[in-house]
Structure 1
Amino acid sequence: MSSALFTPITFRGLTIPNRIAVSPMCQYNSNDGSATDWHLMHIGQFALGGFGLIIAEMTDINPVGRITYKCAGLYSDDNEKALKRVIDFAKQYGPSKHGLQIGHAGRKGSTQPPALGAKPLTKEENAWETVAPSAIPYGEGWHVPRAMTKEDMKATLADYIASVKRAERVGYDLLELHAAHGYLLHQFLSPLSNQRTDEYGGSLEKRMRYPLEVFEAIRAAWPKDKPLGIRVSAVDWVDGGTTIEDTVAFAKALKALGCDYMDVSSGQLDARQKIPFAPAFNVPFAERVKKDSGLATMSVGLITGAREAEAIVSSGKADMVALARGAMYDPRWPIHAAMELGAEPPFAPRMMPAHPKMRPMIFPDYKPAA
């Protein structure tokens, strides 16, 4: 059988060898924003696993934008040098393409790492002041953020651009702007967190204004032949929050600015959310965005099986699938999926001794894909 999942996809000057991506996953293992040996292992394992695209964790544009003090950043020379070490290593040994997700936590920043409870930091724990569109905390017991002034917004935009230029020097093939999961740009988009009365709040058009300004500036700063996508939360799962219609309108505006794809997730903006978790639960949102806006989409969220992923792509519901926990559980997921689907397993050069054709006594029924 021919597999849609294992056909290449091209965005601008980048051809991704298959439709399987590693979704960005916060690792909480950085020191002052800088990657460590953990990241060599984390990204390196996927680079040998056959994934078409590996998108590194949410990487913050400034220290205030961190979720925790252990989060990744790209705002210093040390940060840049550490990430370049990781990407150079991964590109040396694996054929995957590499993306970076850049973002800012907004009101969800200044917290403990999840392993320590993920609670807001206290003054004694060196909490820092968070910022957001409006002075509305994420939930009960959380810091009340400072409402951003227009000067704050300009400075933050400048930090985005500085990080983009660093990402180009590091050697990333693709960028993804984080506007989902309750972080800063999502906070501007949602009426639950954005209650501004100036030109950046109120109607959907006004709530979209700052995220679109950021995207447009990044598109201008990022090389024209390199793709730029965005991750969004299609709905907030809270009454009065972002709707799929809002997200489709946002997708249309982004497409006009040169967005290459939308990575469609959902939720995480408001502690009152009620998410109906189920296998592939975000796929209908990606399908709706693709159908109504014409923008390419990536779907994420409890996608685990090879045939499930194949069906999503072959039916046109999304152009790519992204795995997070599933990739951590099985860093060779694409290889195993290809074997199940009858496609050529995507082995990295240094992994070829493990290829089925090299072990006929173990895989006597293996036949190369047509």
Structure 2
Amino acid sequence: MSKKTSINNTIERAFTNKRLGTSSLKLNNCFIKSATYEGMYDNDGVPNQKLITHHVELAKNGVGLTTVSYGAVSKEGKTFANQMHINAESLKALKKLTEKVHDQGGKVSMQLTHCGYFSKNKKVKKLLAPSNLFNAYGFFSGLGFAKAMSQNDLEKVKEDFVRSALSLKSIGFDALEIHMGHGYLLSQFLSPLTNKRTDKYGGSINNRLRFPLELVQNVIDAVGPEFPVLIKLNLDDGLKGGFSIEDCAHVSKQLEAIGCAALVLSGGFTSKSPFYLMRGEVPLKGMIDNASSWAEKITMMVFGPLIIKKYPFHPNFFLEKALMIRQAVKMDLVYLGGVDSREGIAQILNSGFNFIAMARPLIHDPEFLKKIKDGSIDKSLCNRCNECIVEMDRKGIKCTLSQ
């Protein structure tokens, strides 16, 4: 069999129905729109029509499961003031979104998160973190320091995740993704760089995992086994002394044991190694333009080139590490990281991964999967300039190449 024939056969297989985990949820194909902050919100983070249109367009053009990004479980869990959090107002708009996505034959998930100490939201009175930490990101907003969470704080956050999960299930969401990566609260507990606790929630990987695992178990118990709960988990932090691939293998086995539907494998720590996940160019000029104060702008101008590391892009850049997790667990795994071609899709599926998550190829062209399926293109034209990241903080995420 020729290489081209093999790729074509794998692409055909990619567009058949797929059951998510052991749940009854079936997707039209193996493709998931990765959770990527959209920035399509009105005052106080209420989703607007642009957000609805964005996800409906993805469903219309063949995404099996589209993921609404960065839904904070509480006001205290917001990284910035205009981020969405799960409350009565946002749920009204989100119900319309689920209905419209379903009308197109698609499925929709919500990414649930809590920022922990990584915030510059001036409305937050107390930053929450595993340990006492300095918050460089929020320093110029008067949020430079976070205190270690008390037991009451831990219980409150668990309750917020459960409440949010049940609310989203009640309005028609098909699945949830709990964000345990990228340096947000649950990731902060997992990483030895940010978790310096000396109680049962700190120290060994089992102790650092204890709070996130309790939280996920509570959510699964609340929503029931038929409602898929996915976990976004770092392969590693991309930092010396951080959460490692060995940690990831251990955590993956524990998440499999409690019945998580799938793991979305990712990497990087937003406050310390943000482009470890995205790879490609660093759009520093736009990031400086979007800074919220002159002090922040000047700091970015002077130190940005030194502290924001650039990571070169290459297709399927997380595959080598993701394969180590594929060997460690039998549960469904969602591969994320540099998939942008027919050949790349085939490589991932033939390596034993169940689903593929992507963002930038779909932001560049919402019809990307439709064109891959009919063979009219072999590869995305996204050049990894990452200017779409800058647009998140303007009027909403978009590709500056295709607009």
**TM-score (normalised: structure 1):** 0.84
- Give the letter for the 2:359 counterpart: A
Q: Give 1:109's aligned residue.
A: 119
Q: Give 1:296's aligned residue.
A: 332
- Give the letter for the 1:102 counterpart: L
- Matched residues in 2 for 1:333 and 1:223: separation? 34
Q: Give 1:135's aligned residue.
A: 132
Q: Give 1:4's aligned residue.
A: 13
- Matched residues in 2 for 1:140 and 1:189: separation? 20
Residue 235 of structure 1: CA displacement? 0.6
Identity %: 27
- Stretches of 4+ moved more than 4 A in 1? none
Residue 264 of structure 1: CA displacement? 0.5
Give runs of aligned pairs for residues 43-58 of structure 1, distance below 5 A: 43-58=55-70
Q: Give 2:110's aligned residue.
A: 100
CA change 1:141–1:220 in 2 (3 A) is: closer
CA contact (8 A) 1:237 1:273 kept: no
Answering whether residue 8 of structure 2 is matched by residue 21 of structure 1, we say no
Aligned partner of residue 313 in structure 1, secondary structure: helix
| Structure 1 residues 324-345: Cα deviation after superposition (integer angstroms, max 9, x where no partner) | 1211111011111101299xxx
Aligned partner of residue 56 in structure 1, secondary structure: strand
- Matched residues in 2 for 1:48 and 1:78: separation? 26
Q: Give 2:228's aligned residue.
A: 227
CA contact (8 A) 1:57 1:100 kept: yes
- Give the letter for the 2:248 counterpart: T
- Matched residues in 2 for 1:129 and 1:29: separation? 26
Aligned partner of residue 25 in structure 1, secondary structure: coil
CA contact (8 A) 1:307 1:341 kept: no
Residue 225 of structure 1: CA displacement? 1.1
Coordinate RMSD, CA, aligned: 1.9
- Matched residues in 2 for 1:301 and 1:272: separation? 15
- Matched residues in 2 for 1:174 and 1:209: separation? 23
CA change 1:291–1:170 in 2 (3 A) is: same
- Matched residues in 1 for 2:134 and 2:74: separation? 20
Answering whether residue 371 of structure 2 is matched by residue 336 of structure 1, we say yes
- Matched residues in 1 for 2:146 and 2:247: separation? 25
Q: Give 1:241's aligned residue.
A: 242
CA change 1:335–1:49 in 2 (3 A) is: same
- Matched residues in 1 for 2:118 and 2:272: separation? 11
Give runs of aligned pairs for residues 51-130 of structure 1, distance below 5 A: 51-74=63-86, 76-92=87-103, 94-111=104-121, 126=123, 128-130=125-127
- Give the letter for the 1:46 counterpart: L
| Structure 1 residues 224-262: Cα deviation after superposition (integer angstroms, max 9, x where no partner) | 212111001111111111111100100100111001111
CA contact (8 A) 1:200 1:210 kept: yes
Comparing 279-288 with 251-260, greater Cα deviation is found at 279-288
Aligned partner of residue 220 in structure 1, secondary structure: helix
Q: Which runs of 5+ in 1 are unaligned?
A: 112-120, 343-370
CA change 1:87–1:274 in 2 (3 A) is: closer
Residue 33 of structure 1: CA displacement? 3.1
Aligned partner of residue 262 in structure 1, secondary structure: strand
Residue 5 of structure 1: CA displacement? 1.8
Residue 139 of structure 1: CA displacement? 3.8
**TM-score (normalised: structure 2):** 0.77
- Matched residues in 2 for 1:314 and 1:174: separation? 25
Comparing 59-68 with 279-288, greater Cα deviation is found at 279-288
Answering whether residue 169 of structure 2 is matched by residue 146 of structure 1, we say no
Aligned partner of residue 231 in structure 1, secondary structure: strand
- Matched residues in 1 for 2:117 and 2:275: separation? 20
CA contact (8 A) 2:237 2:273 kept: no
| Structure 1 residues 110-152: Cα deviation after superposition (integer angstroms, max 9, x where no partner) | 25xxxxxxxxx5xxxx564321111113447742112110100
Give runs of aligned pairs for residues 138-217 of structure 1, distance below 5 A: 138-139=135-136, 142=139, 143-217=144-218
Aligned partner of residue 158 in structure 1, secondary structure: helix
CA change 1:272–1:254 in 2 (3 A) is: closer
| Structure 1 residues 190-237: Cα deviation after superposition (integer angstroms, max 9, x where no partner) | 000000011000111100000000010000011321211100111111
CA contact (8 A) 2:118 2:137 kept: no
CA change 1:140–1:259 in 2 (3 A) is: closer
Q: Which runs of 5+ in 2 are unaligned?
A: 1-7, 277-310, 378-403
CA contact (8 A) 1:234 1:244 kept: yes
Residue 268 of structure 1: CA displacement? 1.7
CA change 1:274–1:252 in 2 (3 A) is: same
CA contact (8 A) 1:180 1:232 kept: yes
Residue 272 of structure 1: CA displacement? 5.8
Matched residue count: 326
Match of 1:321 among 356, 359, 362: 356
Q: Give 2:346's aligned residue.
A: 310
- Matched residues in 2 for 1:152 and 1:200: separation? 13
CA change 1:48–1:150 in 2 (3 A) is: same
